[in-house]
Amino acid sequence: MAEINVKFNEIIGKIKPMHAVNNGPVGGGRFGGNIDLFKKAGIPYARNHDASFSRMYGAEHTVDVAYVFPDFNADENDPASYDFFYTDKYVKDCEKAGTHMFYRLGHRIEHEEKKYGTFPPKDFKKWARICEHIIRHYTEGWADGFRFKMEYWEIWNEFDCLGPNDTKLCWQGTDEQFYEFFEIVAKYLKKKFPKLKIGGPAFCSYDEKEGFLKYMKAHKVPMDFYSYHCYPNEPKTMVDLAERQQKYLEKYGYGKVEKILDEWNYLYGSWWGEDMGLTYQTIQSIKGAAFVSACQIAAQNTHIDMLMYYDARPQNSFNGLFGRSPSTILKPYWSFVTFNELYKLSNQCKAESDNKNVYTLAAAKGDKKALLISYYDNTDKLKAKKIKVNLDGVKAGSLAEVYIVDANNDYKKAVSFVTSGKKAELYLEMEPNTLAQILIK
């Protein structure tokens, strides 16, 4: 039997936004929409990387700098040089859902043999000025634009990404060219927008960050946030990576910047062959849901300030939230709904589990309290487990409701009871790779 001890009166911090995603809702159309589902899950941010793969957002007319500003020789000060049409629609749909867009300035990954948008811009300074006008369009109303709360602006994506035979997938230049590019763009945009958050570079490799950080320190490059990616099959991999990243950042004077893991999901093993079939199968399953919740819970107590799941893009195999139709719910969607119940309460409470496969996180605000439990194991060797839950700091006469997410139930209320004192206890029987949530009010 495993045991969980919760002290709702012991506040230890704030619940961080661990339920952000890559790519936002679809407003409607042939396959339906999911704005209401985004609202229900309370998804706070949507990073727009790889949006241009999806025709539901506008495909190759959407988001990427080379698509928004299609002729690099045009006048960057002229609104007529920009094509905001589909990106405007996409951003407005996000805002309707209460989800703020986290804008990746750059280009989608190019798996194709011929590359088009991942070459270094031929004029770094002009590229920075183009980005300035994109930012002004969405935050200051430039070119019949908007005044949205879009605070995060990320420079490029995965310049270090290599495909088969060391093919460069996101940056066709050298590392040194990227360092110079990042310096020029970051300094320019931060000077123009001191109140916005400018950062990057969305690393994909797990180590060897010192070249980038050493250059940034030597050239005094401002970074409001540092972003990187991780595709594990155990939460511990994510936790250990966060600690290593923090050491790199502290060494070069960036230890206090926001740390955003803005691409993550389950990866069975390698990125090739049969492993990918097993990866896709897991991502969209109840095991995928337990994995997501376990990672959200584990990341809360690390240096990570925000998690951004990859991906909520329609008809993408890495989308564990929605099926072929944006309005079709898959099991991991409930991981975001359950985490949002904690996020709404804001205050993290002390909660401990004595079992490494039983992950738990608690939150409270006034008389409202919530507990989330994920029983996750990647090996598929565990059996059903009885879990004793000790709740301390509960007001007598409170209504406690237990919800479960498993192979047969989507956030179904399993039991409810009225507490009789400041302390309460209950017993749960959980199958491996399932979720349970306790809501108290």
Q: What per-residue confidence (pLDDT) applies to 262?
A: 97
Q: Which domains does the chain have, with CATH numbers?
A: 16-345 (3.20.20.80), 347-440 (2.60.40.1180)
Q: Are 58 and 27 in contact (CB under 8 A)?
A: no
DSSP string over 191-228? HH-TTSEEEEEEE-SSS--HHHHHHHHHTT---SEEEE
% residues pLDDT > 70 (the chain) = 99
Distances (CA, A) of 271 to 163, 280, 284: 9, 11, 17
Quote the distance between the C-alpha of residue 52 and its chain's center: 18
Ramachandran quadrant class, 106 (left: phi over 0; alpha: psi -120 to 50; beta: rest)? left
Q: Are 263 and 310 in contact (CB under 8 A)?
A: yes
Using a cut of 0.85, tell me whether the model's pTM lies above it. yes
Q: What per-residue confidence (pLDDT) applies to 97?
A: 98
Q: What per-residue confidence (pLDDT) applies to 205?
A: 81
Nearest alpha carbon to residue 391 among 339, 434, 438? 438
For the chain, which residues score pLDDT lower than 70?
A: 206-208
Distances (CA, A) of 29 to 53, 93, 327: 17, 13, 11
Q: Are 415 and 437 in contact (CB under 8 A)?
A: no
Alpha-carbon dihedral sign for residues 17, 18, 22, 27: negative
Ramachandran quadrant class, 414 (left: phi over 0; alpha: psi -120 to 50; beta: rest)? alpha
Q: What per-residue confidence (pLDDT) applies to 39?
A: 98
Q: What per-residue confidence (pLDDT) applies to 208?
A: 63
